[in-house]
RNA sequence: GUCCCCUUCGUCUAUCGGUUAGGACGCCAGAUUUUCAUUCUGGAAAGAGGAGUUCGAUUCUCCUAGGGGAUACCA
């Protein structure tokens, strides 16, 4: 039997980080087993579902590299099929019409709580004759769930979890307006899509018991369940917008590489011995449900950032250059010409060693494309005092006389200059850096000279010298 | 309130009855270095509490505490 997993977000907002992890686990499990990973948009809440959110989910999945098989299923479009099942249940006496008003429902809840009983619908219409129905009230359809006994959910992550059936009331299958509820829809869709493994957040654990009852009543096979722990914010509380509950596109905008985020998310709640940096191939190869932890994990930006740095350092230069191109263009307000892009690519090796985000990478490469004369920051200005400028003047002359702009020749010239001046290399390198980059932080100074080339290097040095 | 789940360094985790409780991030100190990083070396840092089971519990059981989730005509 082929393994089929699915990710089933409701399009009421962006693809948040918790959803992304759920999607990742489903994707990995399917890929690991050579199965299928399906996408289903749970858009039955017409009020809150938006096209923008659907688009954001697709985009987020693509950005993370989580490709799904087959066309996405839109749950709302299957409402007739869902309702059919409800009607079938009705015909079989496994469901019934309920005419209780919202006020009655609220009353039941309050009373149950007051009496320390589970707050549940009391089943008042369960066995009543339809002829008793009040006039003018559109009924809902409720599932006739077992009153006693227990429901055992055999969860791959949580283990065997038992729920007393009296704890679970008769849930609504069809609303008064005839539309199916989530509980009915998921069960029918997962069945029709041949989903074998349901991997989702453990906030659905109780739902699993209810859904299992429904599945059994219909007579279908119960799928495997794996309820994974939720992600918490740094303070241990549920992830909110304040922490990391941002859309994945927010992480992209903060300069995180999708592969770094994916690695981080994978290690959050799942482990493979002491392995930390895990490639996609390894992840697919190693992923299993057994190694998913049972406790909630806190989101830690510091670790994400560290991983991001590792992935940036190991990334391909051209790939990174292409990534930062639009960022630089946004920063400078002008389009990058091909020569500049080549320059950036050439400098990338030294640049990426120092970056912890794509954004900071873009920022640190700005000096490469800056127009002369450079705008110097304060620290750079203070480095270029009279004495330093005199040194740079002589250095510029020395560089000017170089037969060719060869990296080694340039380095030798600078070192020779330092020696001639009786200065340590640092004493000459820092003012030089200030003149060449306008800042006090950059890749190695010889790399900078090499990448910038003769004209820019000498020009920038001369620009920095007053008069 | 009721039901369910969770609990090892600050954080993510390893350990599947016997370990000096390991690794990673972060932090501290040092080395390398033309800046910043990188890299390297070293360090501080943990079994929530209490009972049991056992020759022996971080590991198994129970209780307590703390945290989380679910309790909708949302998904």
The pLDDT tens digits of the residues spanning A313-364 come to: 999 999 999 999 999 999 999 999 999 999 999 999 999 999 999 999 999 9
CA A397 to chain centroid, in Å, comes to 53
Closest nucleotide relative to residue A139's CA, C1' based: B73
Strand B–CB A168 distance below 7 A: no
Amino acid A461: pLDDT: 97
Q: How confident is the model at residue A242 (pLDDT cuts 50, 70, 90)?
A: low
Q: Is the pLDDT of residue A239 over 80?
A: no
Average the pLDDT over A81-108 and give the result: 94
Q: How far apart are CA A259 and CA A404, in angstroms?
A: 42
Q: How far apart are CA A182 and CA A186, in angstroms?
A: 6
Q: Residue A250 CA to nucleotide B38 C1', Å?
A: 27
Amino acid A374: pLDDT: 95
Strand B–CB A205 distance below 7 A: yes
Average the pLDDT over A125-142 and give the result: 87
Q: What is the CA radius of gyration of chain A?
A: 32
C-beta within 7 A of nucleic chain B, residues 50-69 of A: none
Q: Which two tokens stand for residue A321?
A: 């250059």
- Number of alpha helices (DSSP H) and beta strands (DSSP E) in chain A: 19, 12
pTM score, two decimals? 0.94
> Which positions of A are annotated as active-site residues?
241
Q: Is A396 exposed, middle or buried (0-12, 13-18, 19+ CB in 10 A)?
A: buried
Amino acid A112: pLDDT: 87
Return the nearest residue to B14, CA–C1'.
A273
Strand B–CB A134 distance below 7 A: no
For residue A438, the SS3 value is coil
Q: Which residue has the higher pLDDT, A263 or A148?
A: A263
Q: Residue A244 CA to nucleotide B8 C1', Å?
A: 25
Contacts of A11 (CB under 8 A, 6+ apart): A41, A42, A43, A49, A50, A51, A53, A54, A56, A57
CB atoms near residue A297 (< 10 Å)? 16
Strand B–CB A165 distance below 7 A: no
- CA-wise closest residue to A298 among A252, A237, A254, A257: A237
Q: Which two tokens stand for residue A266?
A: 């994978």
| CA separation, residue A270 to residues A155, A267, A311 (Å) | 16, 5, 19
């Amino acid at each position: 039997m082929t393994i089929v997993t699915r990710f089933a977000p409701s399009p009421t907002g962006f693809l948040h980080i918790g959803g992304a992890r759920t999607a990742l686990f489903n994707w990995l499990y399917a890929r690991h087993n050579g199965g299928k990973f399906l996408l289903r948009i749970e858009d039955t809440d017409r009020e809150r579902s938006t096209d923008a959110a659907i688009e954001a989910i697709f985009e987020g999945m693509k950005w993370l590299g989580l490709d799904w098989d087959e066309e996405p299923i839109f749950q709302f479009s299957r409402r007739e099929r869902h309702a059919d099942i409800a009607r079938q249940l009705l015909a079989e006496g496994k469901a019934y019409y309920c005419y209780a008003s919202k006020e009655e429902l609220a009353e039941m809840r309050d009373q149950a709580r007051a009496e320390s009983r589970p707050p549940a619908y009391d089943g008042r219409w369960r066995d009543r004759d339809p002829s008793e129905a009040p006039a003018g009230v559109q009924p809902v359809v409720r599932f006739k769930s077992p009153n006693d006994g227990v429901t055992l959910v055999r969860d791959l992550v949580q283990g065997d979890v038992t729920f007393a059936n009296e704890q679970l009331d008769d849930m609504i299958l069809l609303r008064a307006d005839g539309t199916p509820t989530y509980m009915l829809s998921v069960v029918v869709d997962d069945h029709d899509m041949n989903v074998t493994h349901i991997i989702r957040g453990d906030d659905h654990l109780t739902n699993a018991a209810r859904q299992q009852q429904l599945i059994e009543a219909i007579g279908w096979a119960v799928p495997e369940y794996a309820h994974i722990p939720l992600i918490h914010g740094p303070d241990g509380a549920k992830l909110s917008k304040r922490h990391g509950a941002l859309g994945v596109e927010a992480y992209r905008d903060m300069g995180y590489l999708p592969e770094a985020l994916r690695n981080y998310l994978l290690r959050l709640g799942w482990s493979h011995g002491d392995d930390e940096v895990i490639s996609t191939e390894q992840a697919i190869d190693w992923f299993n449900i057994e190694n998913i932890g049972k406790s909630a994990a806190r989101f830690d930006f510091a670790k994400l950032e560290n991983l991001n740095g590792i992935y940036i350092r190991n990334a391909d230069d051209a790939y990174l250059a292409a990534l930062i191109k639009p960022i630089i263009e946004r920063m400078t307000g002008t389009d990058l010409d091909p020569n500049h892009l080549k320059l950036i690519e050439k400098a990338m090796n030294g640049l990426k060693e120092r970056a912890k985000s794509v954004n900071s990478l873009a920022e640190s490469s700005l000096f490469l494309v800056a127009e002369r004369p450079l705008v110097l920051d304060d620290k750079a200005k203070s480095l270029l005092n009279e004495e330093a400028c005199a040194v740079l003047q002589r250095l510029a002359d020395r560089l000017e006389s170089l037969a060719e702009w060869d990296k080694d020749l340039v380095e030798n010239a600078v070192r020779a200059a330092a020696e001639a001046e009786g200065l340590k290399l640092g004493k000459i390198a820092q003012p030089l850096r200030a003149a060449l980059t306008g800042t006090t932080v950059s890749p190695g100074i010889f790399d900078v000279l090499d990448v910038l080339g003769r004209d820019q290097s000498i020009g920038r040095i001369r620009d920095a010298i007053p008069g």
